[in-house]
Amino acid sequence: MSTVTHPRFAARRSSAKAATWWGRAWVRAVEEAAFSEGDLKRGRQLARGGAVGAISVSAGRVVAAVVERDDAWTVTIAVPELEADSVDAFVEVVAAEAGRIAALVSGELPHTLVEHAEEAGVELLPYGGELAADCNCDHWTPPCPHALAVLTQFAWLVDADPFALLGLRGLARDELLARLHELGGAGTQDGNLEEEADLDSAADAVRRARELLLESGDGAS
C-alpha cells in the first residue's frame, strides 16, 4: 500500500473525542494505551490546538510532526497489519452482503460488518496494547503527549473515512475494491461502473460534510 497523506486539521474548540462508534472505539484504545491521565489530557490539548501537522498513513504505520512551543517532534505510530488470511476473510465478509461496500465507500463502518469480521477471526479495531508509539522527545515513557495527540487526530480521520483504518491495517481501498471485483460481489461486477461512480460521489460529499464538522468542532461528542 502506498502512503496517503492527510492535510493538517484546523484547531477546534470543542471535545477531542470522536463522533462515530468506530471512532470512539479507537479513542478507547488510545485511552488504554495512555500511561497517565495527565499525558492523555495534554495530548488532547495539542490535538485540539492544531499542533499536529499532516498525517501520513501507510500499512501498519502513521507518521506526523507535532509542534509544541518552539520545538517540533516526529511521531511514529505502529499498528499490526492484518495477516494475509485475515485479509482474505475480511474481503469475504464484506462481499457477503451487497450493502457493505456501499456503506464503507459512503463513510460508514457497519457494526454488523465488524462483528461478523470478528467471528471470522479478524480484529479490525485495535486495542491499547497494539498501539506502539515512538517520538524523538525526551518523555520518560511512551506514548508521550505528542503521540497521544497524533492518535487522537487519527480518530478524527477514522471518523470521516473508515478506509483510513483499513489502510492502516494493510488493506487499501483500491485493493479491497479489486478483490471484491474478483469475487464478483458487492456491486463491483462489470457493467456497474456507473454505480461505483455514484458511490464515489456520495463518499466525496460525506467526507466534505464531515471535514466541515471536524473543522468547526461540531462533529465531536
**At what angle are helices 193-216 and 145-160 packed, to 10 degrees?**
140
Contact 166, 172 (CB under 8 A): yes
What is the pLDDT at residue 16? 62
- Residue pLDDT, tens place only, 22-64: 999 999 999 999 999 999 999 999 999 999 999 999 999 999 9
Residue 123 has pLDDT above 90, yes or no: yes
Contact 200, 105 (CB under 8 A): yes
The label of the residue with cell 460488518 reads 113
Look up residue 204 and give its three cell numbers.
466525496
Q: Which residue has better confidence, 217 or 132?
A: 132
The yes-or-no verdict on residue 193 having pLDDT over 70 is no
Region class of 82: left (phi > 0), else alpha (psi between -120 and 50), else beta: beta
pLDDT band of residue 204 (cuts 50, 70, 90) is low
The average pLDDT across 104-111 equals: 93
